[in-house]
A and B are shown apart, each in its own frame.
Chain A
Amino acid sequence: MPPVLPRVSARVVVPKAALQKVFDNLRDAGFSLVGPTVRDGAIVLEEIARIDDLPIGWTDEQEPGHYQLKPSREREYFGFAVGPHSWKKFLHPARLKLFSVAKQDGRWLVQPAQDAVPRYAFIGVRSCDLNAIGIQDRVFLGGEIRDPLYARRRGPVFVLAVNCGKPAATCFCSSMKTGPRVTVGFDLAVTELPEIFVVEVGSEAGSEMLRDTLWEPAGAFDLGRAAQVCERAERAIARELRTRDLPKLLYDNLDHPRWDDVATRCLSCANCTQVCPTCFCITVEDTSDLKGTVAERTRVWDSCFVLDFSHVYGGNIRPSIRARYRQWLTHKLASWIDQFGTSGCVGCGRCITWCPVGIDLTEEVKAIREKASK
């Protein structure tokens, strides 16, 4: 008789160490596991194999322009907030070969890039990041023309999500209605308690991965404790972005003096766009061999903070940092909604933490709102 698996939408508890069995099940099913791990003084997203690879016992301290790893007394598996990496590094890689062209006998052989794409299992996805994936889905798959490179990576992804227990000081997902509790789009969603995980089953595939994990149906006591984790996290989020009429506010204030003010602080370094889980802009690089018989095209992440981004014959459309910061913020919070039916911001706070001068978009919006022209 096969072992019975929990049904979809069931909530079960598993011992913490049983997460290793989930990892093993995923690997046996052909998934490549990627998740949080400690590297270079930060929690990054990389390939992981064992639960020991997780940042167990680590937490982070985040403020505008500040990120510091700290050991934590509780040996939590997921006792930290999001780091500099987001899942877009797997779904929308920073460098991706598009195709090569070989000139042969007066004809061109156009060869699409044939890279092996792993079936990823994302371990430890926060609600903000799950929403960010949903936003990039709309960008790359929601239109008439779809990006086949994104689709190939995105289609088979397995998501093991985590309900946030310890939001950072830079987080504001509650303003963007993207967290901290995971609600949709997961195969498994775990809430961490001191000795167990409470696991919500989101799909058949998720249920399958709980095989041989000693899972038990969750009782009222454990469900209550899990709910408290989410409530505490919600209360811990202090940062706020008022989204009411935000597109109109920004469109009506394209000449607001605050743009000049932020331009004196912004270094135009593009960090915010690189850590942002939804920023999708790319450019293309062309290379060839010395004889010019074989050429390649590669797409790479770009940023609207790069001067050449807006280059046309005769100059750049946005020569000033003022214009480039304004483009980024109005796209993220206003025109994104016109383009894709959703804000481009999930409130993960990465752009605040990783800005070298600590520019905080929630503060910039507040300042514009306080002295709005309309």
Chain B
Amino acid sequence: MNVGVTPLELQASPDSMLPRQAVIQAIRPEACGVATFSLALTDPAEAAAYRFLPGQFNMLYLPGFGEVAISVSSDPGEPRVLGHTVRYAGNVTRAMGRLKVGDFVGLRGPYGSHWPLGNGSGRNLVIVAGGIGLAPLRPVILAILRNRDAYGRVVFLYGARTPPDLLYTSEFGWWRERGIEVYVTVDRADETWRGRVGVVPQLFYLIRMEHKNTLVLTCGPEIMMRFVIYEALARRIPKEAIYISMERNMKCAVGFCGHCQFGPNFICKQGPVLNFAAIEPFFGKEDF
């Protein structure tokens, strides 16, 4: 039967489910139960060819345990070493917690959509993250810092449940020096905390926003993102200028397993970064 596929084409098709071998170069503890694994592909040709864009993710694999989708959290300008900030939460990630430098993990990717940075174009950015939702946004900040003059005002709003849950805090000073406005809050303070207390969307009240030529990029719990969108819309930022990064169960990352569907979107293909205007009818719909 004519299916329009010749055997030759079929042979040329690479097996998208096969992991590449990568070695752990460093493990940096970030927060309570969270660490960044710096990975390098062991095949020199594969390592040299690998590129990713901020917001994209890899599938990390541990033989016998399984695979997990993890955003690349490192500098897209340094694609030889790929940072993956992992929370020890499930079967695979807990097993990763027992690995050490020099051990191997499987890696395939990068997959998914990316944050719409373009080449900056003088745009203002409001980057809003909650908890480990900062991991896929860190490459955005690092990309901006490489090319700071191409952007307008850059505001970074960040929060976590408690102070020890905040990620990458040692870098915030450097980010500030390079012209990024950093505002941090926690849901619950401890005795060491001298900063703000409250939920992330409230940080919008600290900044006076120019609504023109401004993009809002947000990643965190869906409930947080809902209120971030609410605050952004209240400041007359158009729906089309709001981007969110979503999480769903994922088994294949190439659109075959069906697990990550969100209405018409596969989070692995159209996502994880989605434009709010495109998903508004479904976003926040109960159990959707």
Contacts and interface: CB of A to CB of B under 8 A. Distances in A.
Nearest to A112: B15
B44 interface: no
B257 A203 contact: no
Interface in B3-46: 3, 5-7, 10, 13-19, 21, 42
Contacts of A156: 7
Nearest to B67: A284
Interface string A120-163: 00000000000000000101110101111001101111110000
A327 to B, nearest CB: 7
Nearest to A146: B13
B264 A108 contact: no
Interface stretch (B74-82, B157-165, B248-256): B248-256
Contacts, number: 145
B251 A282 contact: yes
A94 to B, nearest CB: 14
A154 B261 contact: no
A101 B63 contact: yes
Contact of B63 (A157, A295, A335): A295
B66 interface: yes
A147 B249 contact: no
A281 B89 contact: no
B285 interface: yes
* Residue among A107, A312, A331 facing the most chain B CB atoms (10 A cut-off): A312
Binding site of A, secondary structure by majority: helix, strand, loop or mixed? mixed
Contact of A110 (B21, B264, B266, B286): B21
Given A283-B251, A302-B259, A339-B264, A320 B5 contact: no
Contact of B258 (A187, A281, A326): A281
Q: Report, as a range, how many residues of chain B touch the other chain.
A: 35 or more
A288 B3 contact: no
Contact of A335 (B251, B264, B269): B264
Given A292-B63, A292-B64, A313 B261 contact: no
Binding site of B, secondary structure by majority: helix, strand, loop or mixed? loop
B250 to A, nearest CB: 9
Contact of B65 (A99, A103, A148, A286): A286
Nearest to B103: A106
* Residue among A107, A108, A137, A318 facing the most chain B CB atoms (10 A cut-off): A108
Given A112-B15, A155-B5, A283-B259, A312 B10 contact: no
B24 to A, nearest CB: 13
Given A99-B18, A146-B13, A151-B5, A280 B64 contact: no
Nearest to A292: B64
A151 to B, nearest CB: 4
* Residue among A137, A158, A281 facing the most chain B CB atoms (10 A cut-off): A281
B287 A148 contact: no
Nearest to A284: B251
Interface in B259-288: 259, 261, 263-264, 266, 269, 281-282, 285-288
24 contacts: A107-B42, A141-B3, A141-B5, A147-B256, A148-B15, A151-B5, A254-B285, A255-B285, A255-B286, A281-B259, A284-B251, A288-B63, A292-B63, A297-B17, A302-B251, A302-B257, A302-B258, A309-B249, A312-B248, A317-B248, A323-B288, A335-B264, A338-B264, A339-B264
Interface of B: 1-3, 5-7, 10, 13-19, 21, 42, 63-67, 87, 89-90, 104, 106, 247-249, 251-252, 254-259, 261, 263-264, 266, 269, 281-282, 285-288
**Top 7 A-B residue pairs of the complex, sorted by shortest distance between their CB atoms:** A288-B64, A281-B258, A338-B264, A295-B63, A323-B287, A295-B64, A151-B10
Interface of A: 98-99, 101, 103, 107-108, 110, 112, 137, 139-141, 143, 145-148, 151-152, 154-159, 185-187, 202-203, 251, 254-255, 280-284, 286-288, 292, 295, 297, 299, 302, 304, 309-313, 317-320, 322-323, 326-327, 330-331, 335, 338-339
